[in-house]
Amino acid sequence: MTTKGSLQQHLLSQSADRALFERAADYALDYMESAYGRAVTPTADSLAALSIFDEPLSDDPCDPREIVGLLHFHGSPATLATTGGRYFGFVNGAAVPAAVAAGWIADAWDQNAGLYVMSPIAARLEAVCERWLVELFGLPEGTVMGLVSGTSTATLCGLAAGRNALLARAGWDVNKQGLFDAPKIRVVLGEQAHATVFKALALLGMGNERVQRVGVDAQGRMIASKMPQLDDKTLVITQAGNVNSGAFDPIDEICSKARAAGAWVHVDGAFGLWAAASEKKRHLTRGVQKADSWSVDAHKTLNAPYDCGIVLCADRQVLVAAMQATGSYIQYGEHGKRRDGMLTTLDMSRRARAVELWATLKALGKRGVEELVDGLCDRAAQFAEGLVVNGFTILNDVVFNQVLVACDTPEETKATLEQIQQSGECWCGGTVWDGKPAIRISVCSWATTEADVDRSVAAFTAVRGRK
């Protein structure tokens, strides 16, 4: 690129450079096509080639065509093919095509979704998504939504709301008075609560060790009868979807007890809350509407693009009060038609996540969401059956999209996992279940076909016992 002319002149001409954006689109489309068929993991060579990015920041500007080329030719090969059909790591969803396309438009808009006055379209789509989600999950009318980066943050928001509400009822204003000398809040959760719950508790000054851990059954579900006496200063955290086994706490029983005692219930439903959108799986989330707040990811089971976490709270005022922000220059809309996204989240400025969330929900429809959820569960069941037939042991009841696998010995399990991860045929993570190593399969991509599962089972069988 010539260095003549001002930066502004350069940027102006780049913004009108259709060929640049068409090239970027071509690269992206090539990538999407290749993701279904290619090896799931990058080769050692493509990882080594990443060193091209390790350079000092140059003094002069760089041609944007060179930039998209670098990303395509050196970045793309070093990705994991999580949008394909044979990636089963963590609980990572793929992305529904309509949402990827919508995201391109949203990128061009570059809206700030913090306030209605900054982006009426983002505010409107958020309001629509809120209505749709409340209906899909069967939550109480008036439940409010905040769009955040993921369930980690959504849980932080929900627990902040719960903590503040319990203390407010005891006559204590956390925003003003802080936590020193505040009445004591008790936290009750299952022994297998997700790591991000403990992180949120630590950040919120409630401590991640001064909690009462309730015993769990063989699937990792909280045993409701083992819960301590609850009261109106108790924060109960329950789980819709154990991150290893996929099991659901007995939410109905837990919520009933909590309600009777005046306790606050937060549901960590990162991937499992979507069961509520399926006729076949809804029973797993029975009673979930009786909770006070919920966290869930759209970027997991729903297959919306990253990053899209959702906090939901039955009492709008409580969440708004917890996320409070004031400033003389802030211009709030009125609630209802003029929704201000920053009122229900930690952030002020943030991207318009609602565009992709809305596109995903609209592209699928109620029936599509249900078919997506059921399909992930069916493929998980198929995976488990295929592995059993081939001599593997399934450690969990496969009630949702998660499958835990072991070989005959812990050593063989570990070696098999390592081989699977290196094979490029499919990718799974590892975990420890019941004190022993296990291979953890999460079927979370819309793209996973029955043939992908068969091919992955074959990969397991092929690498087993190999050193």
Ligand X SMILES: *Cc1c(COP(=O)(O)O)cnc(C)c1O
- How near is the Cβ of 159 to ligand X at its closest, in Å? 12
Q: Which is nearer to ligand X, 243 or 251 (CB)?
A: 243
Report which residue type is found at 201: L
Looking at the Cβ atoms of 440 and 464, the one nearer to ligand X is 440
Question: CB neighbours (10 Å) of residue 424?
Answer: 16
Strand partners, 216: 222
Residue with token string 């094979």: 423
The minimum distance between CB 194 and ligand X, in angstroms, equals 4
383 vs 400, beta carbon nearer ligand X: 400
Tokens found for residue 72: 């395509």
For the chain, the straight-line distance linking the first and the last C-alpha, in angstroms and rounded, comes to: 52
The CA radius of gyration of the chain, in Å to the nearest whole number, is 24
Interacting residues with ligand X (CB under 6 A): 91, 150-152, 194, 196, 241, 243, 268, 270-271, 297, 309
Shortest distance in whole angstroms from residue 274 CB to ligand X: 11
200 or 406: whose CB is closer to ligand X? 200
Closer residue to ligand X (CB): 127 or 247 = 247
- Cα angle 112, 114, 117; round to 5: 80
User: By C-alpha distance, which of 197, 248, 257 is closest to 227?
Assistant: 257
In the complex, what is the shortest distance from the CB of residue 405 to ligand X, in angstroms, rounded to a whole number?
A: 18
The closest alpha carbon to 239, from 191, 207, 309, 178, belongs to 191
Residue 457 in contact with residue 423, Cβ under 8 Å? Answer: no
Residue at 380: amino acid letter: A
Two tokens, residue 464: 């087993």
* Contact (Cβ atoms closer than 8 angstroms) between residue 133 and residue 176: no
Residue whose Cβ sits closest to ligand X: 150
Residue 3 CB, nearest approach to ligand X (Å): 43
H or E stretch at 254: helix 251-261
Minimum distance of ligand X from residue 179's CB (angstroms):
24
Q: How far apart are CA 79 and CA 262, in angstroms?
A: 48
- Please, what is the minimum distance in Å from the beta carbon of residue 340 to ligand X? 23
